[in-house]
Structure 1
Amino acid sequence: MSDHPFPPEDPAAFLSLCAGEWMSLRSRFALSDGDDEWHQSERGEVTVRFESSELASQLGDLVVQPADAPLSRLEFCADGALTFKQQGDEQLGQWRFWTDGSLELTITSPDGVLVQERIWFTRVNLRLRSTTAVDADGAPREGSFCTDIRRVSKPAA
């Protein structure tokens, strides 16, 4: 949990609030030419760790470990630059903290696919994420919506 006010008032508070164990439900929509498998929903578990930085030029990192996928690291620079690392691959992007308390991530993959994800909290323990992907020509490829619920333990009696 976080000692920061809710909703988060700055990017550092937002990143800190992301730390925890989350149960997720994601719905994906493949925007294709009418095949029968255009929609998929999946449940998952993910652990997110926030690592603050001593450097003034960096806000810190989010280390994301899904239960059934490789670990990834998102490095947030104070100037809005973002680096996404996973299994030796590195992609560059940008982040932006909006006045409504949400965080937007934009990453372009080597094949030209642009992925944008918007993350926001409606409660301290409820996080929502929407993602869109468009190809290099601007044609939509995929969209998804994810609801994350933080796992919390019951207080000792």
Structure 2
Amino acid sequence: MSEPTTTDPTSTPTEPGAHPALPEDTTPGTPSGTEPDRHEEEQEPRNRRHDPAADAAKYRHKLRDAEAERDQLAAIAKTASANVYTQAVGSVSSHGARLAHPDDLERFTGKGPDSYVHDGQLDHDALQADLDSLRERRPELFREINYSPRPDPSQGHSGARGEGPVAWREAFSR
């Protein structure tokens, strides 16, 4: 920057954009006659950077936070995988039959949810193959699927054929 032609603070400087009422040693935004000590500002970040104990503590804290978040997300993923596995084992059939107790698959094959769920996706083919092999070895663990419900004789109209429904007045007189 070039200096104003006069040193009198009340005169107008020749440089465009300069503040006419301010003396040379002040900057806008600071009280007159004071200038921020840039040396202290530069020293403070240097001191922070060179304190290895503080840096290590900061990074340990960040590491613990990241590990806690990772563990929480892993627990959520494991629970979701177990739910997907349980629902699938309860609903998949083998030759027209389902396991009477879905826990039997893990008990008799030794394979749990981790064996069938990878990256949140269920491996239906492996699950079906293990169910089929278990059905061949232990058919007593399975129950037949009845697609139509058996009629319940206690429901619906009762009485002999040809009789209509009972009237309300007869219902209370019996």
TM-score grouping bracket, smaller chain normalisation: under 0.3
Instruction: Please tell me whether Structure 1 or Structure 2 has the larger radius of gyration of its CA atoms.
Output: 2
Q: Which has the higher helix share?
A: 2
Greater relative contact order (CA < 8 Å, ≥ 6 in sequence): 1
More strand as a share of residues: 1
